[in-house]
């Protein structure tokens, strides 16, 4: 199939778009258990960047699992396909010159490594939101842990499905000892030099 797909040469390049935006594109990928704080932190990071005039977009379970990936379950194979598609969508957004914030449990190490391959290492910042299962379960923001304990949800990450923690993330946030504000500052400080154009 793909051997017959010959790319058209468009006149507006990724470089043109980044120059027009006055910043580089970047994918900030938040991984961690459900309820760990990914969306909360990503949301505040996005607000800070947006206020600086940076072109941003946030991808999360709400806008992806209800749309493009609404045919996928939480089986290991579908979780892998979920992340692959999100990485490809992110890649288009990077090509469009955006700073993409992606907040997904993304429990498998090999899937997260695959994102790096798809979007190229230089565009990718991995943020590990490290919150213990006990704390996530205590917060139980969406009531999912309760349902998992009751056996109503199968394949619940941290309970009945594995989470492979990043070994060497670019940033690790321990939300049990760090405030949202401090976490956000650390992320913004880390990525700001990467957004600057020479």
Q: Does 158 bind ligand ADP (CB under 6 A)?
A: no
Candidate list 139, 149, 185, 194; residue touching ligand ADP; CB under 6 A: 139
Candidate list 91, 106, 130, 175; residue touching ligand ADP; CB under 6 A: 175
Q: Does 31 bind ligand ADP (CB under 6 A)?
A: no
Distance CA(98)–CA(192), nearest Å, equals 14
- Of residues 85 and 174, the one with the C-beta less far from ligand ADP: 174
Q: Does 186 bind ligand ADP (CB under 6 A)?
A: no
Which one from 25, 39, 90, 106 is the annotated catalytic residue? 106
Distance CA(158)–CA(138), nearest Å, equals 13
Q: Does 37 bind ligand ADP (CB under 6 A)?
A: yes
Beta-carbon neighbour count of residue 104 at 10 Å? 23
106-131 burial, b for 16+ CB within 10 Å, e for fewer?
Answer: bbbeebbeebbebbeeebbbbbbbbb
Q: Report the interface residues with ligand ADP, using CB under 6 A.
A: 32, 34-41, 103, 139, 141, 175, 178-180, 183
Query: Which residues does the annotation mark as catalytic?
Result: 106
């Amino acid at each position: 199939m793909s051997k017959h797909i010959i790319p058209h040469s468009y006149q507006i390049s990724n470089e043109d778009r980044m120059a027009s935006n006055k910043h580089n594109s970047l994918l900030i990928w938040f991984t961690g258990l459900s309820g760990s704080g990914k969306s909360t932190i990503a949301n505040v990071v996005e607000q800070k960047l947006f206020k600086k005039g940076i072109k941003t977009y946030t991808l999360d379970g709400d806008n992806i699992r209800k749309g493009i990936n609404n045919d996928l379950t939480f089986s290991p194979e579908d979780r892998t396909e979920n992340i692959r598609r999100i990485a490809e969508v992110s890649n288009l957004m990077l090509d469009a010159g955006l700073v993409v914030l992606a907040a997904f449990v993304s429990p498998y190490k090999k899937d997260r490594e695959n994102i790096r391959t798809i979007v190229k290492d230089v565009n990718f910042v991995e943020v590990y939101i490290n919150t213990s299962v006990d704390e996530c379960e205590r917060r139980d923001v969406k009531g999912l842990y309760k349902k998992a304990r009751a056996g109503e949800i199968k394949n619940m990450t941290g309970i009945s499905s594995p989470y492979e923690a990043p070994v060497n993330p670019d940033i690790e946030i321990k939300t049990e000892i760090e405030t949202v504000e401090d976490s956000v500052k650390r992320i913004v400080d880390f990525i700001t030099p990467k957004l600057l154009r020479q």
